[in-house]
Amino acid sequence: MARNLGDIARRLNGQLDGDPTVEIHGLAGLFDARAGDLSFVGELRYVPYVARSRASALIVGLDFPTASIPLVRVAKPALAFESLVDWFRPERTTPIAGISPQASVAASAVIADGAVVHAHASIGEHAHLGASTIVHAGVRIGAHVRVGRDCVLHANVVLQDHVRLGDRVVVHSGTVVGCDGFGYRPGKAGLEKLEHIGAVEIGDDVEIGACVTIDRARFGRTTIGRGTKIDNLVQIAHNVQIGEHCVIAAQTGISGSTTIGDGCVFGGQAATAGHVRIGRRVTAAARAGLTKDVQDGAVMFGIYAGPVHEKRREEAALRKLPELLKRVRELEKKLGIADSGGVAEDG
Amino acid sequence: MARNLGDIARRLNGQLDGDPTVEIHGLAGLFDARAGDLSFVGELRYVPYVARSRASALIVGLDFPTASIPLVRVAKPALAFESLVDWFRPERTTPIAGISPQASVAASAVIADGAVVHAHASIGEHAHLGASTIVHAGVRIGAHVRVGRDCVLHANVVLQDHVRLGDRVVVHSGTVVGCDGFGYRPGKAGLEKLEHIGAVEIGDDVEIGACVTIDRARFGRTTIGRGTKIDNLVQIAHNVQIGEHCVIAAQTGISGSTTIGDGCVFGGQAATAGHVRIGRRVTAAARAGLTKDVQDGAVMFGIYAGPVHEKRREEAALRKLPELLKRVRELEKKLGIADSGGVAEDG
Amino acid sequence: MARNLGDIARRLNGQLDGDPTVEIHGLAGLFDARAGDLSFVGELRYVPYVARSRASALIVGLDFPTASIPLVRVAKPALAFESLVDWFRPERTTPIAGISPQASVAASAVIADGAVVHAHASIGEHAHLGASTIVHAGVRIGAHVRVGRDCVLHANVVLQDHVRLGDRVVVHSGTVVGCDGFGYRPGKAGLEKLEHIGAVEIGDDVEIGACVTIDRARFGRTTIGRGTKIDNLVQIAHNVQIGEHCVIAAQTGISGSTTIGDGCVFGGQAATAGHVRIGRRVTAAARAGLTKDVQDGAVMFGIYAGPVHEKRREEAALRKLPELLKRVRELEKKLGIADSGGVAEDG
């Protein structure tokens, strides 16, 4: 897979400062590069880190200073770097074709031509798999599940009964779609389970990370709109409705029956309360907790979130609070007011 | 599975406003309903949303106004709606009986009559499965595990060696019970693992969500009391003791050796510190962080949680803090006090 | 497995206060002990809890008061208790040897002598397993994966293509290593996936908990340094570089391209922003959110974390804020200032 630096410079139509015979074995970022790796510097503020990088060569901009390692100078270093992905992509094994004899496929399941089912996967009764869909080892597909075409279900994904996926959906390992929602009512002998007879529907071009949990609806359906991307370890509760083209970062939790409009972005470890209505193109910062309805286009910040400008002002004010306590005590002294109510200021 | 609206009204002993021949194919909430769905309105505050719903008909209260879609009027709409679940439950495949020849069952395992073991499941040495318990595909049951009767272990659940489950326990997919606790001590070459030789014991009628992790005890046992319900992606550390009939919402983390009394409720993304003792019937709000012992019946709120009335007062006061900074500056000006200590107020 | 108390006292070279024929069946903590269990009291502050414990006997210090249950007195109770682990370790089944005929092993995979592959596991093309490594049921090992010697991969672990593990690495059930990083760029029809062609490299003596997700790098590699320990449900994003001998507690999230130096400790539910550089021996308290670079040795606290002494001072001041609002109103009254700006103080 090695390429020499001369070939790389020619391919990028770049200007080489250094030895063209240097061999490059892989691509890496400036900080994680090792000997044999080619990296890049897209912005001049990273120049001070170059001396510490272990990369064997760099793709840099035309105005980059000289360095102790070989440089390939181009107009747009980041784009040039990315264009090399095809050359350096690690070897992929020829994919297995067809249905593994070690898979378990129900007699009534329908598997389109070109779909692949790996060993130790299970396909339930009346399930449908679309053309060219790949089901990796250990995937569990329940009864009456429908998976579109060109989907990839990575190893050990679980789709419970009646879940529906559109086309080109990717689900990463360990993710569970269609588990029961979390709902009980008080009964004589303790909590009684509310039966969840709804489904989960996932639109085209959705990607779902690893170890994500998506609950089925009590009635009706939990839905994830077309083009939405969900990161690892996210919780989506029963009856949630997520719009199209949303981005939800890792470890976020969306509580039951909440609706989220198109084009929303959630940072990591964010959350919503249940039954709230989030508009379109809302941004929730990392760890934002949306406890009430949110209007279209709002940018929300804070554990009990509000508009970002308000919450940041509160956060800045909080940093001054210990000093403020002292200042108020000074004012009270000046006005002859004794320490009020036995509240000590310096605990 | 379709039913017409006349039949539904008769079954509910309700009053039909609209065409009795309308066909209903499923049940759904007001917001996620589609054409063909029957929904309901339990409270009049939802009336404004009816116009936007795509439901084909509604079950409503006797005092509900007229609407552009057919209505079935009853005294208790929510209860009436739920009573239709049996009619509209999606088709379930006849369950597989017995032990799949594609399962792997140790010779010394004991499997009661009526228990079901699906393909690709593994049952370890000396494991016991109770009557009518269902073990889905890809479940891993370790050695010396005991599972009671009428339990359901969903696909890809893992129960490590020596874990014990009571009767009627439900565990959702991807959950791991009995992994080692997280404990190390400094050694010569780095951290040395503390061996965890304890077990996990789970009482009758417990339900555990998907992708939950429950660690085994260092010694003794981690326990989950009878009737307790645990949502998805919850972490229960080693030696935790959870009482009976508790409810723990998604993404909550219970740290090592903490005890939780009967009847406690934890909101989502809550947490406890290690080694704390939480009383009975304690409520921890969503995201509450319980860092100290908590008395019976307390309602706790806040990231570093306190009693809800105190913490909500602090939160309300925080919203006024930026304004307060200005007011104190005004007071200082009036008293001729210069800007104190170089602290700028408007950053 | 039962031992009598006389034998235990002799083995510990301790002084027995009580009946030597009492039978002990297991070890447990003071709070989770049951009849038949031996427990210990390491510190005198736990003496008040002894009366409530259900343990059948206790190992205690030489200065411990008398009690109503048998005691074994020794100089160091905690150490003595731990030394009994070998005696009371629950029975382990003789491990299976070799490669199960129910596993699926690619023809080009190389499996060293003494390695064990359980039923329903899959080993991909060109994968290498080191000597004495144990691959439990349902583990998925992708193509070109390298696993060192004496590793343990618990049931249903997933290692995607090109992941590398050092020697003596332990990975608990449900964990996914090498899933794609979460990266997209806007395209004509929605978000376009950034291809992730990098790897994940995990050093010797690393232990990773259950249901952890570790993303592969965009280019180069995500790395976890030698001796680092990671708890359950942790998220490690693409291109993260974690140093050696770090400890990361449950439900923590490390965002993309962040670097963490050697010897850092993260409490539970902590997080870092992306692209930040955390020094060596940094301590992040539980729930700390590290949003900026952090210097060596810093102790960080708070949701939007700062140095612990500052943040704890702010937290203490916040508890006085409702009172402060009243005090400022008093000052304003005294100076004849009307309620400022319509801000009500007691909401």
| CA of residue C273 relative to chain centroid, distance | 20
Indicate if A216 and A334 belong to the same structural domain.
no
Q: At what angle do helices B308-319 and A308-319 cross, to 10 degrees?
A: 100
Query: Whose CA is closest to C276, among C296, C293, C253?
Result: C293
CA proximity to B152, closest of B171, B167, B165: B171
Q: B253: helix, coil or strand?
A: strand
Tokens of B299: 């309602």
Tens-digit pLDDT profile for residues B131-174: 999 999 999 999 999 999 999 999 999 999 999 999 999 999 99
Residues of C in Cβ contact (< 8 Å) with B174: 174, 211
**Residue ending a domain, choose from C56, C88, C120:** C88
Are A148 and A167 a contacting pair, CB within 8 Å? yes
Is the distance from CB of C185 to CB of C165 less than 8 angstroms? no
- Please check whether residues A110 and A25 belong to one and the same domain: no
Give the CA radius of gyration of chain A.
27
> Residue A107: closest CA among chain B residues belongs to which residue?
B93
Contact B74, B62 (CB under 8 A): yes
CATH number for the domain spanning A49: value is 3.40.1390.10
pLDDT computed for residue A67 by the predictor? 86
Q: Are residues C143 and C279 in the same domain?
A: yes
Query: Is residue A317 domain-resident?
Result: yes
Q: Which two tokens stand for residue A253?
A: 């939790």
Q: Which two tokens stand for residue B49?
A: 């949303």
A327: nearest CB among B226, B250, B332: B332
At position A256, the amino acid (one-letter code) is G
Report the residue of A108, A182, A313 to disrupt the B interface, i.e. the one with the largest count of B CBs within 10 Å: A182
Distances (CA, A) of C233 to A174, A251, C230: 12, 9, 9
Residue B93: which pLDDT band, with cuts at 50, 70 and 90?
A: low
| Cα C240 off chain centre by | 18
pLDDT of residue C43: 87
Whether residue A344 is predicted with pLDDT greater than 50 in this model: the reply is: no
A305 min Cα distance to partner chain B (Å): 11
In sequence order, what are the beta bridge partners of B199? B221
Check B321 against A314: CB less than 8 A apart: yes
Q: Which CB contacts under 8 angstroms, 24+ apart, belong to B266-272?
A: B268/A235, B268/A253, B268/A255, B268/A271, B268/B231, B269/A253, B269/A269, B269/A271, B269/C269, B271/C251, B271/C268, B271/C269, B271/C286, B271/C287
Mean per-residue pLDDT over chain B, rounded: 92
B305 located within any domain: no
Q: What's the first-to-final CA gap in chain B, in angstroms?
A: 64
The residue in chain C having the minimum alpha-carbon distance to the alpha carbon of residue B221 is C32
Q: Give, as one character, the DSSP assignment of residue A249.
A: -
Q: Count CB atoms within 10 A of the CB of residue C324.
A: 25
Q: Of B128, B162, B172, B238, which one is the catalytic site residue? A: B238
Q: Which residues of B40-54 are buried (b: 16+ CB within 10 A; e: fewer)?
A: bbbeeebeeebeebe
Nearest to B18 by CA among B72, B62, B59, B63: B72
Cβ distance A179 to B102 less than 8 Å, yes or no, reads no
Number of H helices, E strands in chain A: 5, 39
Question: In the listed set B88, B108, B128, which residue is the last one of a domain according to the structure?
Answer: B88
Among this protein's residues, is B238 annotated catalytic? yes
Q: What percent of chain B has pLDDT over 90?
A: 77
- Kindly indicate the confidence band of residue A93, based on its pLDDT and cuts at 50, 70 and 90: low
A45 Cβ neighbours under 8 A, 6+ residues apart: none
| Beta-carbon contacts of residue C313 (< 8 Å; ≥ 6 apart) | A322
Domain end point (choices C88, C121, C154): C88
Quick one: what percent of chain B has pLDDT higher than 70?
96
Element (H, E) at C48: helix C47-50
- Is C243 part of a structural domain of the chain? yes
Helix (H) or strand (E) holding A126: none
> Looking at the complex, does the CB of residue A177 fall below 8 Å from at least one CB of chain B?
no
Name residue B177's beta-bridge partners. B159, B214
**pLDDT given at position A341:** 46
How far is Cα B261 from Cα A260, in angstroms, rounded to an integer?
36
Tens digits of per-residue pLDDT, A237-275?
Answer: 999 999 999 999 999 999 999 999 999 999 999 999 999
Same domain, B79 and B108: no
Instruction: Report the C-alpha gap between C120 and B100 in whole angstroms.
Output: 14
Tens of pLDDT, residues B165-222: 999 999 999 999 999 999 999 999 899 999 898 999 999 999 999 999 999 999 899 9
DSSP class of residue A179? E
Residue A339: pLDDT band (50, 70, 90) is low
Domain-embedded: residue A147? yes
Q: Which of A145-154, B258-267, C316-325 has the lowest mean pLDDT?
A: C316-325
C159 and C249 inside one domain: yes
Is A306 a member of any domain? no
Q: Does A328 touch chain C (CB under 8 A)?
A: yes
CB contact at 8 A, C278 and C264 = yes
Residue type for position C13: N
Tell whether the model's pLDDT for residue A226 goes beyond 50.
yes
* Cβ-nearest to B317 among C39, C137, C322: C322
CB of A289 within 8 Å of a chain B CB? The answer is yes
| Burial category of A67 from C-beta neighbours within 10 Å (exposed 0-12, middle 13-18, buried 19 and up) | middle
Question: What interface predicted TM-score (ipTM) does this complex get?
Answer: 0.90
- The two beta strands, A23-24 and A3-4, are antiparallel
B306 lies in a domain?
Answer: no
B317: helix, coil or strand? helix
Buried b (16+ CB within 10 A) or exposed e, A304-322: bbbebeebebbbbbbbbbb
Query: Do residues A213 and A236 touch, judged by C-beta distance below 8 A?
Result: yes
Torsion of Cα atoms, C334 then C337 then C338 then C341, to 10°: -130
Residue for token pair 């083209």: A245
Distances from the Cα of C327 to the Cα of A331, A341, B346, C333, angstroms: 10, 9, 22, 10
How many domains in chain B? 3
How confident is residue B282, by pLDDT bands cut at 50, 70 and 90? very high
Question: For position B85, what pLDDT does the model report?
Answer: 85
pLDDT (tens digit per residue) in A160-199: 999 999 999 999 999 999 999 999 999 998 999 998 989 9
Q: Beta strands C116-117 and C37-40: pairing type?
A: unpaired
State the DSSP string of A26-90: EE--TTT--TTEEEE--SGGGGGGGGG---SEEEE-TTPPP-SS-EEE-S-HHHHHHTTHHHHPP
Interface list for A 238-257 with C (CB within 8 A): 244-245, 247, 249-251
pLDDT number for residue A107: 92
| Structural domain harbouring C39 | 3-88
Nearest residue to B148 (alpha-carbon basis) of C38, B159, A61, C149: B159
- C167 and C253 in a single domain? The answer is yes
**CA separation for the pair A179, A213 (Å, rounded):** 8
Return the percentage of chain A with pLDDT > 90, whole number: 76
* Residues 6 or more apart in contact with residue C332 via CB below 8 angstroms: B327, B331, C338, C339, C340
**CA–CA dist C42, C59 (Å, integer):** 8
Q: Domain check: are B108 and B138 in the same one?
A: yes
Q: What is the pLDDT of residue A330?
A: 87
**Same domain? A80 vs A28:** yes
Question: Strand, coil or helix: what is A321?
Answer: helix
Q: Is residue C93 part of a domain?
A: no
Q: pTM for this structure?
A: 0.91
Whether residues B267 and B152 fall in one domain: yes
List B129's β-bridge partners, or say none.
B111, B147
The neighbours of chain C, by the rule of 3 or more Cβ pairs under 8 Å, are A, B
- Whether B277 and B159 map to the same domain: the answer is yes
| Residues A37 and A179 placed together within one structural domain of the fold | no
Q: Would you give per-residue pLDDT tens digits along chain C (347 residues)?
A: 688 999 999 999 999 999 999 999 999 988 888 999 999 998 888 888 898 899 999 999 999 998 889 999 999 999 999 899 888 887 766 667 899 999 999 999 999 999 999 999 999 999 999 999 999 999 999 999 999 999 999 999 999 999 999 999 999 999 999 999 999 999 998 999 998 989 999 999 999 999 999 999 998 999 999 999 999 999 999 999 999 999 999 999 999 999 999 999 999 999 999 999 999 999 999 999 999 999 999 999 999 999 999 999 998 888 899 888 888 888 888 888 765 444 444 43
Cα B345–chain centre separation: 44
Confidence (pLDDT) at B339: 55
Strands lying side by side in the sheet with A265-266: A116-117, A134-135, A152-153, A170-171, A207-208, A229-230, A247-248, A265-266, A283-284, A299-301, A306-307
How does pLDDT run across B264-273, given as a tens digit for each residue? Answer: 999 999 999 9
pLDDT at residue B254 in the model: 98
Q: In chain A, positions 26-65, which contact chain C (CB-CB < 8 Å)?
A: 26-29, 31-34, 37, 39
Residue B344: per-residue pLDDT: 41
With contacts defined as CB-CB under 8 Å, which chain A residues touch C122? 118-120, 137-138, 155
Using alpha carbons only, give the angle A266, A271, A277 rounded to the nearest 5 degrees: 80
Mutation pick from B169, B269, B343 vs chain A, by most beta carbons of A within 10 Å, is B269
pLDDT digits (tens, 9 = 90+) for B218-244: 989 999 999 999 999 999 999 999 999
Please check whether residue A260 is in contact with residue C263, taking contact to mean a CB–CB distance below 8 angstroms.
no
A vs C, Cβ pairs < 8 A, gives 208
- Would you list the DSSP string of B54-110? --SEEEE-TTPPP-SS-EEE-S-HHHHHHTTHHHHPPP-PPPP-SB-TTSEE-TT-E
Residue C306 lies in a domain: no
Question: Other C-beta atoms within 10 Å of B279: how many?
Answer: 18
Question: Mean pLDDT across the stretch B248-272?
Answer: 98
Q: Is C327 on the interface with A (CB under 8 A)?
A: yes
Q: Is B89 on the interface with A (CB under 8 A)?
A: yes
Query: Within this chain, do residues A82 and A168 fall inside the same structural domain, yes or no?
Result: no
Distance of CA C109 to the CA centre of its chain: 31
Nearest to C186 by CA among A26, B201, A227, A27: A227
Longest pairwise C-alpha distance within chain A: 89
For chain C, the first-to-last Cα distance in angstroms comes to: 64
Q: Which CATH number is C217's domain given? A: 2.160.10.10
Catalytic residue of the set C162, C238, C275, C309: C238
